[in-house]
Structure 1
C-alpha cells in the first residue's frame, strides 16, 4: 500500500512538472515577461525562467527512474516549498499582487495557488518519509532541503527588491490596472496645456490664445475666462499661464515680464498687475508662493541651463544658482530639463531631458539629493553646433529620455521614452509609459500604461489626490487611479 502511494505521488509529480514545463515552453516569451513583472523576482527573471523550466524537466526524469526516485522526490519537495513560499511572500510582503500565472494553475487565484502548493508539498513530504528507510537521515535531509529552498528564495527576493528599487537594471515593474479611463471632455481645440489645480478643479492655459484659460470642475464641467493686462503692446512671443491657488501668473521670459492676479478676481473681470518686468530672462517659471517664482534660464556666457529664484517681496531680488546643473557633454542640451515644485515637501525637482537623473533641492535651490531614473542611459550622445547668432542647435535631433514630469505629495511621475527589458514594441506604439518614483524614499515604485486615444498621444499630464488627467490633442481625459497607486501617497 505504501509502495503504491509513493508511485502514485511520483507519477503525479511527473505529470505536474511535465505539463507545467510544456506550457512554459509553448509560451516561453510570455513566461519570461510574466516573471519580469513579478514583484519579487524581477531582477532575475531571465535566468529564473530557464532554471525553473530545467528543474521541472530534470526532476520529472529523476522520478521516472527507480534508482533516482528518492532523490527526485527530495528535490521535488524542495521545489514545491520554494513555490509555496514565493506565493506566501507575494500575498503578504510584495508591493502589489500580479496577474495569475498560466499553465496548469491558470484558473486559480493566488490563495488557491498557496493551498494547492502546500498540499502538494505535504504529499511529497509523506512520500519521501515512506521511501526513506532511515528516519534520522530523513529528518536531517528534509530540514536541510526546506532551509535551502527558503533561504535561497528569501535571498532572491531581498536582492531583487534592492536591485529594482535602488540599482535599477531597467526592468520595469508594471502596476496592475494603474489607471482606468473615467471621463472624456472635448476641448474643441488642441492648444491647451495644464497650468495647475486646486482640490478637484484643474486649470488649463492656451498656447494660441494666452489671455484665455479654462477651469474644469469635479463634474468635468468647463468654464472659460479671459485675462485683461495693461501692457498689451509689448512684443510677447511665449506668454504662459500658471496657477498656484488663489493666484495665477502670466509670464513671458523673452520680454521678460510676469503678471500676477487672483483667480476669483477674473470672475469679476478685474485686471492683473505686474509682478516683475525686465528683471530676468527665462524659458520656464514655476510659482512657489505669493511672492516667489522659480525659473529656468540660460547663462549669458556659455548658454548652459541655470536655475534661480525671483523674490518680489519689496524690491525684486534675483538669486541665480549657476553651479546646480552639471554638464558632461555639450554644455547646453545636456543640462536642459523640466523643473517642478512639490508644495507638500517644499522641494524642487529638476529632471534632465537627456540623462537618467533628477535632482532634489530645498526651496532655496540647495541640492538635497540626486536620484537615477530606471532608465540605464546615463547620457544621450548629443552633437550640437553654435550658429552665428549664438544659438545652439542639435546636428542630429534625438528623443528625450524623459518627456513629461509631474509631482504630487511624495510621488514623481515621469513619462519615459525608453523601452525596458522584455517590453512589447507593439504596446509602445499604443501607449505612453509612466514611471512612478517615491522621491522621499529614493525608490522606484512601478510603472503603468496610458493608452493613446485613437491616433492621439498623451501631450500633457497632471495628478491630484483623486484623479490623473491627460491631454490628447483636443480631448481631456480623466483617469481613476488604482487604490494601489493612491496608497503610495503619504
Structure 2
C-alpha cells in the first residue's frame, strides 16, 4: 500500500513538474508579447496608464517599470535553474494585475473604456477572471514544483508574503495616486469614459449670443447687438422667443449684459454704474434700478437683490480688486484692493473671472494667467485657496508702462485658463494648456474642460468638447442634467452621465 502511494505521489509530482514547464512557456509567451506590444505602441500605453483612475500619477514610471519587469520575468522563466523564482515573480505580478482590476471595478471613480495591453478586446470582468486563473496556475506550479517535500510550508509562506506585498503595493499606489491626482497633480489629466453625450443642437443664426442663465428648463440668451432684449429657448430646443426689456431709465449704455440668479434677471453695465433687476415672471414691467452711481465695475455677482460682489479697478494704484456692495439701509461699498494682485500692472496679473454657484450660493474667482482659484465670501474676503492642475502659480507676463501712464503687454502672454463656470460644487474650466501624455491631434479637434470639486478642492477629471466644424466652444452652461455650449452660431446640448452628476453637492 505504501508503495502505491509513493507511485501516486511520484506521478503527481511529475504532472506538476510538467505543468510548471508548460506554465512557464505560457507566461514567457504572455509577458514577451505583452512587453513587445507595449514597446511598439509605447506612447499609447502611457496614455492608457495616464487615464487609469488608479495609476494616473505614476504613468511615467510605471510605463517603463512594467515592461522591464515583464521582460525580466520572461528571461528568468526560460532558465530551468531559476524557473521557480520566475514562477514566484509571475505569481506576484499577476496578483498585482488582479488587485488592480478589482480596485478599478469596485473603488474607482469611473471605469475606463478598456484595460489595454494584450487583452484589450476583453472586458474588465473577463480580464479579472483570466488574471485569477493565471494567479492560481502560478501559485500551484511555484509551490509544488520539484521533489522537495520538506520545504512545502516555507514555499506556501513565501507565496503568501509575495501576495501580500503585491496586493499591498497596488493598494498603496492607488491611494497615493488618488491623493496626488486630486491634491498635488503633476499636470496629468484623466478622461472618464463619456461623462457627456451629445443630444441636440439649435441654430442661432449668428455667433454673438451668450448665456444669460436657465430657469425651469428654459435657456435664456443675450446678444450685445440687442441690449434691450433677451431670448428664451424652450426645453425641447425647438422654439426661441424674444423678450423685450425696458430698463426704466435714460442711461447711455456701452455694454449692457444680463444674468439670471434664483428666478431674477439682473442687468448691468460696469461703464455705467447702475444695476437693474426684475423677476422673470414680471419682465413685461420696467426693470428696477437697484444701484445707481455707487461704483464702476466690469464683472458682477448678484448674491441677492441687495448684496453684490463686483470686480473693480482702482485707477490710482492700477490694480484690480473685488468690491462688496450692500444696499441694505444705507448703501455701502468696501473694496479689497490687494485680493487679486499686489502689483500695479494695469490689472494683468489679477485678471480672471468672478464666478457664482447659483445652486449653492458660493463665490469664486479664477485667474486667467495662473493656477489659483479663490473662494470668497459676500464681504470680498478669501475663505479658501485652491489650485488647478497646471504648474504655473505665477503669471508669465511682461508688462510695459507707457508714457501716458497706461500699462500694456509687450509680448503674448501664457494664457492658462480660457473660461470658467461653477455649479453645484463643481468648477468647470476651459483649459488652454496641453498636459502630460495627451494627444496633440485631439487638442486640435476639441476643447478640454477640467472639472474640480470645491468640497475637497481636488481635481475630478476632464472631458473633450468637439469643435463644431471650425468653430471652438465659446460659452458653456451647466444644469442638473445637461451641459450646454455655444460654438459659432450653434447651441449644443449634452446629456451628463451619472459619473459627473453624482459629484454634485445637493443644497440642504
Shorter-chain TM-score range: over 0.9
- In structure 1, what is the equivalent of residue 80 of structure 2? 66
The 1:328–1:229 alpha-carbon spacing in structure 2 relative to 1, beyond 3 Å, is closer
Question: 2:110 matched to which residue of 1?
Answer: 96
1:362-406 deviations in whole A, cap 9, x for unaligned?
232221110110111112321112345543221113242111111
Query: What is the rounded CA distance, in whole Å, between the counterparts of 2:409 and 2:138 in structure 1?
Result: 65
Q: Tell me which of 349, 353, 359 is aligned to 2:374.
A: 359
* Stretch moving more, 360-369 or 89-98: 360-369
What do residues 160-185 of structure 1 show as CA deviations (whole Å, max 9, x unaligned)? 11111111111001121121111111
Aligned with 1:169 (options 179, 182, 186): 186
Q: Measure, in 2, the Cα distance between the counterparts of 1:461 and 1:343.
A: 15
Once the 2 structures are TM-superposed, how far is the Cα of residue 291 of structure 1 from its aligned partner?
A: 1.7
* Superposition pairs of residues 13-412 of structure 1, within 5 angstroms: 13-131=27-145, 133=148, 134-220=151-237, 221-232=239-250, 234-266=251-283, 269-327=284-342, 330=345, 332-412=347-427
The 5 A counterparts of 1:439-454 are 439-454=454-469
How many residue pairs get aligned? The number is 487
The separation in 2 between residues aligned to 1:117 and 1:327, in whole angstroms, is 57
How has the CA–CA distance of structure 1 residues 442 and 103 changed in structure 2, closer, same or farther, with 3 Å as cutoff? Answer: closer
CA gap 1:195/1:95 in 2 versus in 1, 3 angstroms: same
Q: TM-score, length-normalised on structure 1?
A: 0.96
CA distance in 2, matches of 1:474, 1:126: 65
Alignment check: 8 A CA contact 2:318 2:345 kept: no
Return the TM-score normalized by structure 2: 0.93
Q: Name the CA shift for 1:244/1:41 in 2 (closer, same or farther; >3 Å).
A: same
Q: Report the structure number with the largest CA radius of gyration.
A: 2
RMSD: 1.6
CA distance in 1, matches of 2:234, 2:402: 47
- Structure 1 consecutive aligned stretches of length 4 or more whose deviation exceeds 6 Å: none
Q: CA deviation at 1:328?
A: 6.2
SS of corresponding position for 1:287: strand
- Give me the whole-angstrom Cα distance separating, in 1, the residues matched to 2:463 and 2:414: 21
Cα distance in 2 for partners of 1:3, 1:300 equals 86
- Separation of aligned partners in 2, 1:155 and 1:373: 24
**Taking structure 1 as reference, are residues 157 and 102 closer, same or farther at Cα in structure 2, changes over 3 Å only?**
closer
Gaps of 5+ in 1: none
Secondary structure in 1 matching 2:304: coil
How far apart, CA to CA, are the structure 2 residues paired with 1:327 and 1:69? Answer: 66
More off after superposition, 197-206 vs 447-456: 197-206
Deviation larger for 317-326 or 200-209:
317-326
Give how far 1:259 is off: 2.1
